[in-house]
Amino acid sequence: MINIVLFGKPGAGKGTQADFLKEKYNLTHLSTGDIFRYNIKNNTALGALAKNYMDKGDLVPDEVTIQMLQSEVDNNPNSAGFLFDGFPRTIAQADALDHFLKTKNQEITATVALEADDEILVQRLLERGKTSGRSDDQDEEKIRNRYQEYNEKTAPLMNYYQEQGKFHAVNGIGSVAEVTERLSTVIDKL
Ligand code: B4P
């Protein structure tokens, strides 16, 4: 059983790559961003709460996100392994995930990061914003706020996983297929 964290700045291509990796390695894909967007679309209480934060480009509070993620894992008891996309995004989330997996006699196998320059990613997100309807992709100020959130709260996770000897990084710039190939090279060696 392998459990992989797909890591990277906003727009680095986590969701794009997860679509390929989940098939290739038979993993259950859990994207906290997608789950929040699903809840917003379906007007749930969780969606209403998350929307306030996501619209501004802020992270949704840890307690809400952690609880949601744990119930998604619990809902997939026969999974052959998980691909965590966009989670954890804070040290508190990473700690909670480690403890939670431990209660199931499991652990994170590796964290694989997609590396890319902020300016390229801002352009990617603005481009996606033209068609995605995502309010957090349409305003450069909100996008920049997402990078600030990343730098303050998410970037420290690199150290967190490095200290556990579980951190791997690949170049996230190139064609989608090239990036999938780079990620596969890392995952095949795990
Ligand atoms: P997410 O939904 O996780 O999304 P993301 O960071 O915007 O994007 P991702 O890296 O998945 O990029 P993608 O493949 O789509 O987060 C959105 C919000 O949800 C957060 O800001 C936060 O508010 C909330 N949230 C989610 N998880 C949370 C958590 N754990 N805690 C608290 N809050 C949380 O690719 C982006 C674009 O690039 C696409 O248009 C794609 O087509 C393009 N692209 C991809 N690969 C490319 C390539 N190789 N070359 C050129 N373009 C490429």
Chain segment 48-77, per-residue pLDDT in tens: 999 999 999 999 999 999 999 999 999 999
User: Which residue puts its alpha carbon closest to atom 17 of ligand 1?
Assistant: 33
Set 9, 22, 37, 89: catalytic member: 89
Supply the pLDDT for residue 35.
97
Residue 120 is which amino acid?
Answer: I
Supply the pLDDT for residue 46.
96
DSSP states of the chain as a string?
A: ---EEEEESTTSSHHHHHHHHHHHHT-EEEEHHHHHHHHHHTT-HHHHHHHHHHTTTPPPPHHHHHHHHHHHHHT-TT-S-EEEES---SHHHHHHHHHHHHTTT----EEEEEE--HHHHHHHHHHHHHHH--GGGS-HHHHHHHHHHIIIIITHHHHHHHHTT-EEEEE--S-HHHHHHHHHHHHHT-
Q: What is the pLDDT of residues 6-43, one digit of tens each?
A: 999 999 999 999 999 999 999 999 999 999 999 999 99
CA of 8 to the centre of ligand 1 (A): 8
The pTM assigned to this predicted structure is: 0.95
Supply the pLDDT for residue 186.
98
Supply the pLDDT for residue 96.
98
14 labelled catalytic: yes
182 labelled catalytic: no
